[in-house]
C-alpha cells in the first residue's frame, strides 16, 4: 500500500449539497444553528449555501440570510455555490461573508443538459466568465466536475474528457478542481488510476475528491484517492445529499464516517469527532428521521473501551 498523507483538508457541504435535497423546507433558525455547530467542530472549510433561483431550489432561498446571521469563526473558509453570472452577482453582494465560490458542470453531455439545461460547451463558456470575475473580487474559485467517474445515462466517461474540462477551468482561474462521483459509480481501482493521472495532468492545482455512497463504496474510494496522493475531500454530515438527477442517487459520504476512518488510520483531519456527531444528531432531530451515517448509528471506535 502506498504511504498515506499525514493530514487532509475536508470541506463540509451538508448545508448546501445536503439541505437542497430535503423535501421539507428547513427553518432558517435551524440552518443557522447547524452551520454554527459545524463551524465549531474544527472543520476549516464550509460550503454554506447556493445562490440559485428560489423557484429552482426553494430550500436555499434564505441563503443570504443564513450567511448574514451565522456566527462563523474567521479561521473557517466559507464558500457558496454559484450556477452562473446571476448567482455570482448575488454572491458578490455577500463578499464580506465569503471566501470562495464554487462553480459546477458535468462531464457528461446528457447529465449536464438534464441538470442545467445546457451543453458542456455552453456551461464552460459561462464559467469562463464567472471564474475571472470571482478572482478579481478576491475570491478563490473552486470548480466541481460532476459525473467524473461515470454517468447514469451515458455510462463510461473518458478520463481524458474530464481532464480537458479541468484544464479549461484552471485556465479560467480555478485554483481547485473537485471531481464528483455524482451517483456513486466509482470503484477504488478506477479512483486510484484517475487521481494519479490527474496529478500528472494538473500540477500545482488542488485536486478534491467528492464521493457519494450510493453503492456503499464511498470510503473505499477515499482510501484509493489517498493512496494516489489526494489530500482534499468533500463530505456531508449525516450522509445528507444526493443527486436529483436521476432518482435513487443517495447521499454523500458522511463527514463523521470520513473523519472517524481517517483518524483511526493516523491521518489528521483537525476535526473534533464528538462535536461533529453532536451536529449530525441535531440535524437528524431537525429532519425527524434517521440518517445513514454509520458512525452516527454505531458511535466512534473506542480504543480504550470495548468497541
Instruction: Specify whether 230 is catalytic.
Output: no
Predicted confidence at residue 305, as pLDDT, reads 44
What is residue 44's predicted lDDT score, i.e. its pLDDT?
Answer: 97
The arithmetic mean of pLDDT across residues 231-249, rounded, is 82
Average pLDDT over residues 74-82: 98
Mean pLDDT of 233-242: 94
pLDDT tens-digit readout, 136-185: 999 999 999 999 999 999 999 999 999 999 999 999 999 999 999 999 99
Contact 191, 154 (CB under 8 A): no
Average pLDDT, the chain: 94
How confident is the model at residue 275, as a pLDDT? Answer: 98
- Comparing 25-29, 74-78, 92-96, 245-249, the range with the smallest average pLDDT is 245-249
Question: Given this model, what pLDDT does residue 243 score?
Answer: 67
- At residue 64, does pLDDT exceed 50? yes
From CA 202, how far away is CA 207, in angstroms rounded?
Answer: 8
Pick the catalytic residue: 91, 120, 166, 243?
243
What pLDDT is attached to residue 42? 98
Chain segment 33-54, per-residue pLDDT in tens: 999 999 999 999 999 999 999 9
Q: Running DSSP on this structure, what letter comes out for residue 202? A: S
Does residue 244 have a pLDDT over 90?
no
- Whether the upstream peptide bond of residue 246 has omega within 30° of 0, thus cis, is yes
At residue 304, does pLDDT exceed 60? Answer: no
Give the number of other CB atoms < 10 A from CB of residue 299.
14
Residue 106 β-bridge partners? 146
Closest CA relative to residue 16, chosen from 75, 66, 84: 66
Domains defined along the chain, listed by start:
9-298 (3.20.20.70)
What does pTM read for this prediction? 0.95
**Other C-beta atoms lying within 10 Å of the C-beta of residue 107:** 27
| DSSP one-letter string for 38-76 | HTTTT--EEEEEE---TTT-GGGTTHHHHHHH----TTS
Taken in order 247, 256, 23, 244, is the CA torsion positive or negative?
negative
Q: pLDDT band at 251, cuts 50/70/90?
A: confident
What's the rounded mean pLDDT across residues 83-92? Answer: 95
Q: Name the 3-class secondary structure at 200.
A: helix
Residue 78 burial by CB count (10 A; 0-12/13-18/19+): exposed, middle or buried? buried
| Cα(30)–Cα(284) distance, integer angstroms | 12
Q: What percent of the chain has pLDDT over 90?
A: 90
pLDDT at 185: 94
Whether 189 and 222 have beta carbons less than 8 Å apart is answered as no
pLDDT of residue 306 exceeding 50, the answer is no
Query: Above pLDDT 70, what percent of the chain?
Result: 95
Sign of CA dihedral 157, 158, 159, 163: negative
CA distances from 38 to 127, 135, 234, 274, 282 (A): 29, 27, 14, 11, 11
Residues 6+ apart with CB under 8 A from 125: none
Cell triple for residue 298?
454505531
- Measuring CA to CA, which residue among 175, 156, 157, 173 is closest to residue 120? 157
- pLDDT exceeds 70 at position 99: yes
Band (pLDDT 50/70/90 cuts) for residue 242 is: confident
Q: How far apart are CA 15 and CA 4, in angstroms?
A: 29
* pLDDT confidence of residue 248: 58
Whether residue 157 contacts residue 120, with contact meaning beta carbons closer than 8 Å, is answered with: no
Amino acid at each position: 500500500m502506498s504511504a498515506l498523507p499525514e493530514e487532509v483538508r475536508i470541506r463540509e457541504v451538508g448545508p448546501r449539497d445536503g439541505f437542497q435535497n430535503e423535501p421539507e423546507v428547513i427553518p432558517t433558525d435551524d440552518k443557522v444553528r447547524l452551520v454554527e455547530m459545524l463551524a465549531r467542530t474544527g472543520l476549516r472549510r464550509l460550503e454554506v449555501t447556493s445562490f440559485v433561483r428560489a423557484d429552482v431550489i426553494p430550500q436555499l432561498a434564505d441563503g443570504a440570510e443564513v450567511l448574514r446571521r451565522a456566527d462563523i469563526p474567521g479561521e473557517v473558509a466559507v464558500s457558496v455555490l454559484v450556477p452562473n453570472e446571476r448567482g455570482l452577482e448575488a454572491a458578490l453582494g455577500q463578499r464580506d461573508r465569503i471566501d470562495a465560490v464554487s462553480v459546477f458542470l458535468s462531464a457528461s453531455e446528457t447529465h449536464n443538459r438534464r441538470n442545467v439545461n445546457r451543453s458542456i460547451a455552453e456551461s464552460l463558456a459561462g464559467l469562463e466568465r464567472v471564474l475571472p470575475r470571482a478572482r478579481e473580487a478576491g475570491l478563490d474559485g473552486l470548480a466541481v466536475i460532476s459525473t467524473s467517474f461515470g454517468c447514469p445515462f451515458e455510462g463510461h466517461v473518458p478520463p481524458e474528457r474530464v481532464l480537458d474540462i479541468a484544464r479549461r477551468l484552471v485556465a479560467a482561474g480555478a485554483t481547485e478542481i473537485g471531481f464528483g462521483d455524482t451517483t456513486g459509480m466509482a470503484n477504488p481501482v478506477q479512483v486510484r488510476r484517475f487521481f494519479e493521472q490527474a496529478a500528472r495532468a494538473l500540477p500545482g492545482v488542488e485536486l478534491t475528491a467528492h464521493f457519494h455512497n450510493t453503492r456503499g463504496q464511498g470510503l473505499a474510494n477515499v482510501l484509493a484517492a489517498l493512496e494516489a496522493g489526494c489530500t482534499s475531500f468533500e463530505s456531508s454530515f449525516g450522509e445528507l445529499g444526493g443527486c436529483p438527477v436521476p432518482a435513487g442517487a443517495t447521499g454523500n459520504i458522511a463527514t463523521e464516517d470520513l473523519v472517524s476512518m481517517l483518524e483511526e488510520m493516523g491521518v489528521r483531519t483537525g476535526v473534533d469527532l464528538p462535536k461533529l456527531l453532536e451536529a449530525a444528531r441535531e440535524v437528524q432531530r431537525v429532519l425527524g428521521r434517521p440518517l445513514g451515517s454509520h458512525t452516527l448509528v454505531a458511535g466512534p471506535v473506542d480504543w480504550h473501551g470495548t468497541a
